[in-house]
Structure 1
Amino acid sequence: MELEFRHLRMIRAIADAGSVTKAADRLGLAQSALSTQLKRIEAAMGGRLFERGREGVQPTPLGVLVLERSRVLLPAMRQLQEDALRFATAAREDSELRLGATHGPFLGALVDRLVTARPELTVSTQSSTSASELVTRVVDGRLDVALTGRCGHRKSTGDERLEWREITVDPVFALLSEDHPLARERELGLEQLAGERWALPPGEGCFGECFAAACVRAGFLPRTVYEADAASCLHLVRSNRAAALCRATFPPPPGVVVIPLTPAQLSWRQLICWRPRALTRRLADEVLCYARAVHADAVTRNPVYTAWLRQQEDAAAREHGAPPSAAH
């Protein structure tokens, strides 16, 4: 493995936080993912960079050397990126937008809105299953805007060099085959799915860990977990080989049903980020506005999600002594 600047940022983050766990949270990574990456970096460097102790981590002599060099290299690279971004932004102004996302249909709908409203705007897109990779592309100036997400319980956003805005927070629902014995239920407790095998997409964030923790709270440990791409996960669900999880806005394809989980233990924050000075405030605000409009449209078109939202509104109204919603 060749050393990259993002690896130096990870090492710097661990040293500044004094803990792999704290650094992972600041970087928007799962602790296990950062630990694995650190092992690869140490293998490339030829030795351990940190020693773990009761007070956290301390750099080894090799780690001190790497950190000292990073204090020179990282600011120099950052200055180069900022100079290049200023030059490129001045040339492009608001005529071009490079957009990245981890959300397939969400990305397409956003591009449609932007191009319709701004026909003079040239929009290009990039997609990745890795949220941190997209964020790195924004930091490096290869993308102008990234649509990412993370577990709803994590209040931190991500890289502090970027501007971050929250689009929304959605609950996570269960995805089952229409032939599943529980397919006609209006809602499910996670414990009712204790005997299921699960199909989950790969990811470096904490969602897998959050799912496992939710299962433990529900009184069981997940059985077999198939890690697969989205299309393979859907195939396993449709063929009744596994259950899966999805954001509440997900439009189920034929042969699959979406069922709310109660209580709502898992949620997903949809976020948008861009680099200050690399994007004008006017264009950034437009992209954020259209992203929220796209999400609102997705909610409106999803009867399962809209019914769930009405139930939450009625429950809140009853709690405060108000009459329930009439829109049923």
Structure 2
Amino acid sequence: MELELRHLRLIVTVAEQGSVTRAAATLGLTQPALTAQLNRIDRTFGAAVFTRDQRGTRPTALGEFVLGRAKVLLPAMSALVDDARRIVSDREERTRSVRVGTASTAIGGLFVNLLVSRLDAEVTSVTLPDVDDVVEQLASRALDVALVGMCGNASPPAAGGVRWWRVSTDPVFVLVPDDHVLAARPVVTLAELADSAWLGVTGGGCFQRCFVTACARAGFTPGKVNEADRSACVDLVRAGHGVALVQPTFPDTPGVSVLPLAGAPLQWAHHVGWHEVGAPLPVDGMVDSAVRAHAEAVSRSSPRFLGWVGPQRHNHGAMTSG
């Protein structure tokens, strides 16, 4: 007879009960059936596991050794089964639900909509404060896929198992009120905006440093920079409280004008990322969804963006690893 886990459980129960009769009742066996199994176990080991006398059933020296090992093996096997079931459950849950993260991008909603149309799963999305948060959650697999925007001179931080694809690199434009002296111009220079108050320069990574550097190359140091979200930027610019740097896919909005900056001194890039283990779509499917999201945003954007960027508006990069 080969020893099995059920035999170890039987030995542990007999030792805990201190009686073959009580152990048989606990195990749902008859006493003769339990005694027969104990005899087979003894023959397998070549010696008795228990000794029986008027005080009850007690383990022998061999029995104590077997009990010590059984009390290690049984919990370990139970944990193995629980962990295996959890992995299966997680995989099934991952199939049913795809978690999408976005940060610093104006095309996140379009990207999520495209994933919803392509995946036979529930898609949930979350907007995170910055790219570092997204990378951390991709690495831990709290997110399945992500779309982020950041300075065109930078790449997302490296993290184990995380892969990135640069979707597009676009010039950054400037938002001015319609009654601004430069509003009718087809293109403006940073130097012409030297005396402006700046709004919304909140890009993560090196973007603010790149902005200050671009201003220095244009011959001036920018004044106070006020952080503001997209909606606040529009209201403040419309009211004449400053100008704002915006992603070029910013749509036409009453009261404000989106202007290209000569020489494209600042750029903004979009990256789609995923964890190499358990990606919700093939790589080309995720990249294609991000590219299509960007293309749709371009089609809705200011005509000046289409005229400025022209056929090169999709500048795709290579995949990077973490």
Determine helix, strand or coil for the equivalent of 2:287. helix
Q: Tell me which amino acid in the other structure corresponds to 1:110.
A: F
Deviation of residue 202 (structure 1)? 3.2
Instruction: Give a deviation string over 1:76-98, Cα, whole Å, max 9, x none.
Output: xxxxxxx9996565223543210
Counterpart-to-counterpart distance in 1, 2:171 and 2:189 = 14
Instruction: Give a deviation string over 1:283-302, Cα, whole Å, max 9, x none.
Output: x4322211101111222233
Deviation of residue 304 (structure 1)? 1.2
Q: What does residue 265 of structure 1 align with?
A: 265
Determine helix, strand or coil for the equivalent of 2:272. strand
Determine helix, strand or coil for the equivalent of 2:293. helix
CA RMSD of aligned residues (A): 2.4
Q: Tell me which amino acid in the other structure corresponds to 1:217.
A: R
Q: Tell me which amino acid in the other structure corresponds to 1:101.
A: T
Instruction: Give a deviation string over 1:236-275, Cα, whole Å, max 9, x none.
Output: 1111111111111111422111000001111011001111
8 Å contact kept, 1:212–1:221: yes
TM-score where L is the length of structure 2: 0.65
Q: What does residue 134 of structure 1 align with?
A: 134
Distance 1:239 1:124, change over 3 A: same
Deviation of residue 183 (structure 1)? 0.7
Percentage identity across aligned positions? 34
Determine helix, strand or coil for the equivalent of 2:264. coil
1:151 and 2:154 matched: no
Q: What does residue 198 of structure 1 align with?
A: 198
8 Å contact kept, 1:110–1:290: yes
Alignment of 1:20-169 (within 5 A): 90-92=91-93, 94-103=95-104, 105-118=106-119, 120-154=120-154, 156-161=155-160, 162-169=162-169
Deviation of residue 311 (structure 1)? 9.1
Counterpart-to-counterpart distance in 2, 1:85 and 1:237 = 53
Counterpart-to-counterpart distance in 2, 1:121 and 1:194 = 50
Q: What does residue 291 of structure 1 align with?
A: 290
TM-score where L is the length of structure 1: 0.64
Counterpart-to-counterpart distance in 2, 1:296 and 1:312 = 12
Q: Tell me which amino acid in the other structure corresponds to 1:237.
A: V
Q: What does residue 310 of structure 2 align with?
A: 310
Q: Tell me which amino acid in the other structure corresponds to 1:244.
A: A
Q: What does residue 181 of structure 1 align with?
A: 181
Q: Tell me which amino acid in the other structure corresponds to 1:108.
A: G
Determine helix, strand or coil for the equivalent of 2:107. helix
Counterpart-to-counterpart distance in 1, 2:256 and 2:262 = 19
Distance 1:191 1:87, change over 3 A: farther
8 Å contact kept, 1:199–1:228: yes
Deviation of residue 105 (structure 1)? 4.7
8 Å contact kept, 1:167–1:288: yes
Counterpart-to-counterpart distance in 2, 1:197 and 1:85 = 55
8 Å contact kept, 2:115–2:289: yes
Using the TM superposition, name which of 205-214 and 230-239 deviates more: 230-239
Distance 1:193 1:87, change over 3 A: farther
**Larger-Rg structure:** 2
Distance 1:143 1:84, change over 3 A: farther
Counterpart-to-counterpart distance in 2, 1:287 and 1:311 = 23
1:225 and 2:225 matched: yes
Structure 1, unaligned runs of 5 or more = 1-82, 314-328
Counterpart-to-counterpart distance in 1, 2:265 and 2:93 = 44
Structure 2, unaligned runs of 5 or more = 1-83, 314-322
Determine helix, strand or coil for the equivalent of 1:291. helix
8 Å contact kept, 2:237–2:256: yes
